[in-house]
Amino acid sequence: MSLPILSVNELAMSFGTLEVFRNVSFSVDRGETLGLFGKSGSGKTTIGKCIVGLERPTGGEIRVQGANILDMGKKEFRKLRPKIQIIFQHPETSLDPRMKAFENLIEPLKLHSGLKQDALLKRGEELAELTGLRPEHLARYPIQLSGGEIQRIVLARIMALSPDFIVADEPTSMLDVSVQAQILRLMQKLQRETGVSYLLISHDLEVLRKVCHRIAYLDNGTITSIENIKRDVKR
Ligand SMILES: Nc1ncnc2c1ncn2[C@@H]1O[C@H](COP(=O)(O)OP(=O)(O)OP(=O)(O)O)[C@@H](O)[C@H]1O
Ligand SMILES: [Mg+2]
């Protein structure tokens, strides 16, 4: 048995006297999509932020392939960080409004890949193709793109880092139903092709039931149940 890519054990979070959750435990296998369902304010986004290191929980463990990220030094965590990514509900906040879409797309490659200019442009074009972006999209500024197109750019940017795990926090809730389905299909394709795992956060059970292998229910500060939807996780 290989280790789960992510395991969260007895995670707890309070902001001052407000206890958001306690004893939150779940794990996610390679190539798996785990849904996280809960009502507004239940702490879903906070759990996602803890996983990528944007918040520090008040208790518990977050293990990435066995190693607890909360015990890691800055240097060790920085090495791991490109492998664990997050997508937000308002994806435009992840893009630089002053740069055209293609420049936004290749920015992480510039920072992390060490590729030379020609190879970098080629890889950028491959990623654009992988995520269904056309040249006319790539020449526009973020403000000139639709919500679905922006979410594709954000996914392409993230895939540039070859992530193992993506927290997708309501990635499609700002999109209309047909575009929502396109983006969810794209995420499933990326998973089939790369084996990436997702924690898909949503308060739309219909969406979660369509794409998740399992769904964790967050209620009253804890995970009350984990439902099996599909058992065949492709690795
Ligand atoms: N940095 C913070 N400081 C203080 N309180 C916070 C902070 N971040 C979140 N909270 C509080 O923690 C609770 C959980 O917030 P969170 O955003 O995780 O909920 P959520 O389940 O994602 O909700 P939604 O479905 O509306 O997105 C809320 O009551 C929120 O006000
Ligand atoms: Mg939220």
Q: Which residue has the CA at smallest separation from atom 26 of ligand 1?
A: 40
Residue 79 has pLDDT above 60, yes or no: yes
Q: Whole-prediction pTM value?
A: 0.94
Per-residue pLDDT band for 136 (boundaries 50, 70, 90) equals very high
Ligand with the closest atom to the CA of 169: 2
Distance 123 CA to ligand 2 centre (A): 33
Tell me the three-class secondary structure of 41-98, residue by residue: CCCHHHHHHHHCCCCCCCEEEEEECCEEHHHCCHHHHHHHHHHEEEECCCHHHHCCCC
Over residues 170-199, the pLDDT tens digits come to 999 888 988 999 999 999 999 999 999 999
Segment 158-181 shows an average pLDDT of 93
Confidence of residue 151 (pLDDT cuts 50, 70, 90): very high
Residue 120 has pLDDT above 70, yes or no: yes
Does ligand 1 have an atom closer than 6 angstroms to the CB of 15? Answer: yes
pLDDT given for residue 233 in this prediction = 66
Mutate to test the pocket of ligand 1, among 44, 49, 54 (most ligand atoms within 8 A of CB): 44
Return the residue whose CA atom lies nearest to atom 25 of ligand 1: 40
Ligand 1 centroid to residue 117 C-alpha, Å: 42
Taking the CA of residue 39 as reference, the ligand 1 atom at the shortest distance is 25
Q: Ligand 1 pocket test: which of 22, 36, 45, 222 has the largest number of ligand atoms within 8 Å of its C-beta?
A: 45
State if residue 95 touches ligand 1 by the CB under 6 angstroms criterion: no
Ligand 1, atom 13, residue with closest C-alpha: 41
Query: pLDDT per residue over 5-50, tens digit each?
Result: 999 999 999 999 999 999 999 999 999 999 999 999 999 999 999 9
List the domains of the chain with CATH numbers. 6-228 (3.40.50.300)
Any ligand 1 atom below 6 A from CB of 81: no
Reference 25, options 72, 57, 71; nearest CA is: 57
Residue of the nearest CA to atom 18 in ligand 1? 43
Sign of CA pseudo-dihedral 37, 38, 44, 45: positive
pLDDT cut 70: percent of the chain above it = 97
